[in-house]
Amino acid sequence: MTDDTQHTETTSVRPANSLRAVREWILLRGDRTVVSAGIVGAVLVALTGLSLSGEFPLSDLQAVYYVYGGVISGNLTLITVVVSVNQLLLSREFSAPGELRRQISDVIDYRRDVEDAAGRIAPVEPLEFLRLLLEATRQESQALGGLVRESELAVADEILDVMATLTEELDRTDELLVGGSSGTIDVLSAMLTTNYARQINDLRRTKHDHEGDLPDSVEASVDRLIDGLQSIDVARQYFKTVYFKQELSSFSRVLLVTGLPAEGVAIASLLFMTVESGNPAAVDHLRLLVPVSITLALTPLAVLASFIVRTATVNRRTAATIPFTAPEQEK
């Protein structure tokens, strides 16, 4: 391969990686207020450009009144629906002491299982907890590989191939966790690409096809490795639940903070145009007032879009749980 060919391939890969990084930032890692501000800014530039270019004559304000009326009623409906949904989900958090004890007991039992497998006390932070799970699972994978080599099994190559793929996946996920922050969404986004269902299925198939031929130590190691991989998926699904609760609370708060001022701007602008409708000189002011005020009035919709696109992405990439997988979880 010549230097020119290598340079061409490098330059073609970099834009693709950059676009992928930007896409992932918008969909997952980006601050939702910043994404919302970006949407609002794009709408403002588009509407202002069209208005100043004369594409919006504004000679008849009746259509503008309809737009403001729709925005005002739409924002009220949006805020009401979101608050109602928030209250509905909040009501599910009210539990009797017995139910709370069972939930806490289940979480404690899960932590103890992880600690027994890892051989030490598990951290309470999601980032460190997942890194402990990955480390313990990687060690079990390496131990299984060592047992297979020592036993000189006929299926050694088959198992070692699965271990190589699995170790590569675990290392890649751990690198993502190390490179990210400790926020719930950053931890969760590093776990979206796979749920290790294929590796578990390969191990179960190998164990089933060669039942009786595998030493007890190898079978026990396979079982422990499968349990570890399943524990990773349990942690991912649990942290997804925690993330959705946090996201709904943040979304409700941001929507109220932006929605009420947006309603005020839309109502004030509508009243201003009603007063100035008989003044021809007011059209020049309206060429800036209309796009700016409509853009501000659409801020709640931009907030909704920025939050929904992330929750939908997370939900789409984690729709399948072990023992199943989906193509979206392996991209």
- CATH number reported for the structural domain that contains residue 141 in this entry: 1.20.140
pTM of this structure: 0.81
Residues 170 and 41 in one domain: no
Spatial distance between the Cα atoms of 135 and 118, rounded to a whole number of angstroms: 8
Instruction: Encode pLDDT of 76-128 as tens digits.
Output: 998 888 888 777 777 776 667 888 888 889 889 999 999 988 888 988 888 89
101 and 216 co-located in one domain: yes
What averages of pLDDT result for each successive group of 10 residues across the chain (331 residues)? 50 65 88 94 92 77 85 90 78 75 89 89 89 92 88 81 88 82 80 82 87 85 92 89 88 90 90 63 73 92 94 86 70 58
Last residue of a domain, one of 246, 265, 289: 246
The pLDDT, as a whole number, for residue 12 is 46
Of 298, 301, 306, 299, nearest to 67 (Cα)?
298
Q: What is the pLDDT of residue 300?
A: 93
Answer yes or no: is 6 within a domain. no
Long-range contacts, 211-215 (Cβ 8 Å, 24+): 213/153, 213/154, 213/155, 214/153, 214/155, 215/147, 215/151
The pLDDT score that the predictor gives to residue 311 is 92
Single residue among 229, 246, 263 that ends a domain in this structure: 246
Predicted pLDDT at 2: 54
Q: What is the span of the domain harbouring residue 53?
A: 31-91+254-330
According to the model, what pLDDT value does residue 36 have?
Answer: 95
Domain annotation covers residue 19: no
Number of domains in the chain: 2
Tell me whether residue 20 is in a domain: no
User: Looking at residue 8, what is its pLDDT?
Assistant: 47
**pLDDT recorded at residue 198:** 87
**End residue of a domain, out of 190, 219, 246:** 246
